Amino acid sequence: MSNWRGIEEFLAVVRHGSFTAAGEKLGVSKSFVSKTVQELEQRLGVQLLVRTTRRLSLTGAGKSFYAECSELQDRLEQVERRVARYSSEPVGRLRVGLSDIFGSDFMSMMLAEFSRENPAVVIEAIAYLDENEVSQEQYDVVIRYGNLPSSSLRARMFGYLSYCLCASPDYVERKGWPSKPADLRHHDCLTDLTATMRFNDDVEVKVSPRWRSNSGLSLRSAVRQGIGIASLPVTIMRQGLADGTVLALEEDWAYFDRECWVVYSPGIMAASTRAFIDFLVRYVNREKVRPSLAAKLAARY
């Protein structure tokens, strides 16, 4: 049984002058209010109210108890109003899990733009390398890519992580471009640790890479130095593609588009989480990103 039981009824009796008026205010019967206040007095071991046929009055203990409990009730109402803001406007902490496998800089810049639009939201951006080690309960939302495993979590697709085949002008001058996926076996490939190049329509090519890394930023550096050819997200390569220090093979077969998902737990969603999800959908607009957009992306982010 809650220790607050009877206190709300007691406060209402004092404020409204009678058990009847208190019951009307609380939406309960007069007898319920009277019984609950009596139980409160018995629990406390003191009399709070003096009841006569003409009026109610507070005892000395009742005056002290009323003052303390009235203040507590006011504070509780203030806390409830502050907490209720979380459901009505973007406020408080937003903890976001970002994949660092292929760099989190692009998503981090989008988070910064969201933060400018929502100054009352405190951002915590946490980079992770292994999706299998991410505990959803630690985050408000997690950004994931590709096919999602079945789970009780909720998810919304907001765009694509679009990969392109890219290389430095020097490398292209020396080695040229592949004309089909299988030709990559004859190139100096830069890949992730699986040593596999992936393309749309479930096309995969196993290669013998010159350079392997689980970091997209490391692979980007190798591409810029002319070490080889890689399939990397356009968003990571946007600056090099925009200024010409990196080239992309703009052939339909040379792209790989992975769905981008914002994943969150079921239940009542905070306004800050809802606002961030809507922001992602609005700004990314479920587009497949191509090298022709690189200059625009470089200028925007």
* Reported pTM: 0.71
Average pLDDT over residues 12-32: 90
Q: What is the mean pLDDT of residues 228-251?
A: 95
How far apart, in whole angstroms, are the C-alpha atoms of residue 37 and residue 56?
13
pLDDT value of residue 127:
85
* 37-59 per-residue burial string, b: 16 or more CB within 10 A, e: under 16: beebbeeeeeebbeeeeeeeebe
Q: Are 248 and 164 in contact (CB under 8 A)?
A: yes
The C-alpha atoms of residue 143 and residue 96 are separated, in whole angstroms, by 8
Measured between alpha carbons, how far is 36 from 214 in angstroms, rounded to an integer? Answer: 66
In tens, the pLDDT along 48-106 reads 998 877 788 899 888 999 899 988 888 888 777 776 665 668 888 999 998 876 667 78
pLDDT confidence band for 299 (50 / 70 / 90): confident
pLDDT band at 263 (very low <50, low <70, confident <90, very high): very high
- The C-alpha torsion from 125 through 128 and 131 to 134, rounded to 10°, is -70
Question: Which residue type occupies 143?
Answer: I
Instruction: Band the pLDDT of 228: cuts 50, 70, 90.
Output: very high
Give the per-residue pLDDT at 1: 45
Whether 210 has a pLDDT exceeding 90, the answer reads: yes
Half-sphere exposure of 87 (CA within 13 A, CB side): 7
52 vs 226, which has greater pLDDT? 226
Q: How confident is the model over 285-300, as a mean pLDDT?
A: 83
- Across residues 277-297, what is the average pLDDT? 86
Contact assessment for residue 163 and residue 255, using Cβ atoms and an 8 Å cutoff: yes
The per-residue pLDDT of the chain, averaged, comes to 88
